[in-house]
C-alpha cells in the first residue's frame, strides 16, 4: 500500500513539474512584439536536385502513402479506445492528437498523445524536420512517433514514445557561401 502511494505521489510530482514547464513555455510565447515588416532575405525554392537518387527519393513526400499511413494510425488509435484529431494542416510539429477519454467524464482525457506519423512505401529511414524534432524534445513522454512501413502493400506500424531520446543523426548540407561587399578590400 505504501509503495502504491509513493508511486502515485511521484507521478503527481512529475505531472506538476511538467505542467509548470509548459505554463512557462506558454508564457514565453505570449511575448511578441509588433513592429515594422523588414525584408531579411529571399529564397528561390526549387525541387531537390537529387530527388530521384536512392539516398533522397525515400524522403520525398508521396501524398497517397502519407494518407495510408495516417489512416492506419487513426484506425489503430481508435481500436485502442482513443479519440483522434488531425492537426496536420497546422504545422505544430506533429500530425495527430489522440486522447483516451475518462470513462466518467468524456470531456476529460486520461492520456493525451501528440503523434507524428511517417509513412513509407516499403521499409526505410525516416527523418524529422527541425520543428518536429524540437517539438518532440519539448513534449518528451507525451510525443509519439508512429512509422507506417509497407504502405504500398500492408501497413505495419512501429510505435516509439519520446523519440527525441533516440540517436538521431543531424543532416546538414551547405549549398553556398556568401560574403558581403563591405568585407572585400578595394583594389589598389
Q: What is the pLDDT of residues 4-56, one digit of tens each?
A: 788 888 888 888 888 888 888 877 777 666 677 788 788 777 666 666 666 65
- pLDDT score at 45: 73
- pLDDT score at 51: 62
DSSP 24: H
Delineate the domains of the chain, giving CATH numbers in brackets.
59-164 (3.40.1350.10)
Mean pLDDT of the chain: 85
> What is the arrangement of strands in the sheet containing 83-86, beginning at the earlier edge strand?
83-86, 96-101, 109-119, 143-149, 156-161
Cα separation, 87 vs 96, whole angstroms: 6
Contact between 143 and 131 under an 8 Å Cβ cutoff? The reply is: no
Of the candidates 133, 122, 118, which has an alpha carbon nearest to the alpha carbon of residue 70?
118
- Cell numbers at residue 49, please? 536536385
Amino acid at each position: 500500500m505504501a509503495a502504491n502511494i509513493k508511486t502515485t505521489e511521484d507521478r503527481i510530482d512529475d505531472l506538476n513539474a511538467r505542467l509548470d514547464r509548459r505554463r512557462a513555455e506558454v508564457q514565453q510565447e505570449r511575448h511578441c512584439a509588433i513592429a515594422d515588416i523588414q525584408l531579411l532575405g529571399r529564397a528561390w525554392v526549387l525541387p531537390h536536385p537529387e530527388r530521384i537518387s536512392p539516398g533522397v527519393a525515400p524522403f520525398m513526400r508521396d501524398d497517397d502513402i502519407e494518407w495510408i499511413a495516417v489512416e492506419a494510425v487513426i484506425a489503430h488509435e481508435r481500436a485502442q479506445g482513443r479519440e483522434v484529431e488531425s492537426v496536420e494542416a497546422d504545422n505544430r510539429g506533429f500530425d495527430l492528437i489522440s486522447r483516451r477519454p475518462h470513462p466518467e467524464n468524456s470531456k476529460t482525457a486520461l492520456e493525451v498523445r501528440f503523434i507524428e506519423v511517417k509513412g513509407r512505401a516499403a521499409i526505410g529511414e525516416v527523418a524529422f524536420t527541425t520543428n518536429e524534432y524540437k517539438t518532440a524534445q519539448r513534449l518528451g513522454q507525451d510525443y509519439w512517433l508512429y512509422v507506417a512501413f509497407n504502405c504500398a502493400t500492408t501497413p505495419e506500424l512501429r510505435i516509439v514514445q519520446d523519440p527525441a531520446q533516440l540517436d538521431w543523426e543531424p543532416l546538414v548540407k551547405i549549398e553556398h557561401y556568401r560574403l558581403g561587399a563591405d568585407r572585400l578590400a578595394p583594389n589598389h
